């Protein structure tokens, strides 16, 4: 599982480390993201989670406006000063996708507004990692996170034999 997490973290860093002219703010955001990743833990998922209750309308991130919404929701995880949060959002909005990208981001809308996010990172040999799942600090935050996790696991379960959930 750690190798899959490392692959995901390398892919996430590549959006800045491989950029010709990364902004100083996005480099700070990458450092904040990497620091947070050191505290993450993972578990093997052997049984499906509860069926999603349908509060969220979940969309794959396939355009820059959805990337921004993903960044804003995940950025709300950091209870940091505005400068740090801005740097993190700057970093996350730099995520670029190619047709053969190993990751797929998702944004969940609650009552028509972006409220949750998550990522499926897949590797043919290592399996799939459900990661970076978060929801805005709403009264139903825990339920939105649980629904996003269950929905992403459901999308992946029939494609990958090894599933890991990082949180």
pLDDT tens by residue, 88-135: 999 999 988 777 899 999 999 999 999 999 999 998 888 888 999 999
Res 47: pLDDT? 63
Structurally, the chain folds into a number of domains equal to: 1
Evaluate if residue 162 carries a pLDDT over 70: no
Sign of the CA dihedral running 86, 90, 91, 93: positive
Kindly give the pairing relationship between strand 127-135 and strand 163-166.
parallel
Q: How far apart are CA 107 and CA 126, in angstroms?
A: 24
Which long-range contacts (C-beta less than 8 Å, at least 24 apart) are formed by 99-103?
A: 102/7, 102/8, 102/11, 103/8, 103/11
Phi, psi dihedrals of residue 97, rounded to the nearest 5°? -120, 145
If one counts every other C-beta atom within 10 angstroms of the C-beta of residue 17, the result is 11
What's the pLDDT tens digit per position in 134-148? 999 999 999 999 999
Q: What is the span of the domain harbouring residue 51?
A: 2-166
Q: Are 40 and 166 in contact (CB under 8 A)?
A: yes
Mention every residue, 6+ apart, whose C-beta is less than 8 A from residue 38: none
- The CATH number of the domain holding residue 98 is 3.40.630.30
pTM score of the predicted model: 0.90
């Amino acid at each position: 599982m750690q190798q899959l997490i490392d692959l995901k973290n390398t892919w996430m860093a590549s959006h800045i480390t491989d950029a010709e002219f990364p902004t100083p703010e996005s480099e700070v955001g990458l450092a904040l993201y990497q620091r947070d990743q050191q505290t993450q833990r993972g578990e093997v998922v052997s049984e499906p989670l509860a069926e999603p209750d349908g509060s969220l309308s979940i969309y794959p991130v396939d355009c820059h406006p959805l990337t921004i919404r993903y960044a804003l929701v995940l950025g709300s995880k950091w209870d940091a000063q505005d400068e740090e949060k801005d740097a993190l959002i700057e970093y996350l909005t730099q995520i670029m996708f190619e047709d053969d990208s190993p990751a797929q981001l998702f944004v969940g809308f609650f009552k028509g507004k972006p409220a949750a996010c998550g990522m499926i990172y897949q590797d043919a040999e290592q399996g799939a990692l459900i990661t970076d799942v978060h929801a805005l600090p709403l009264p139903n935050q825990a339920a939105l996170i649980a629904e996003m996790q269950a929905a992403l696991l459901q999308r992946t379960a029939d494609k990958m034999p090894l599933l890991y959930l990082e949180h």
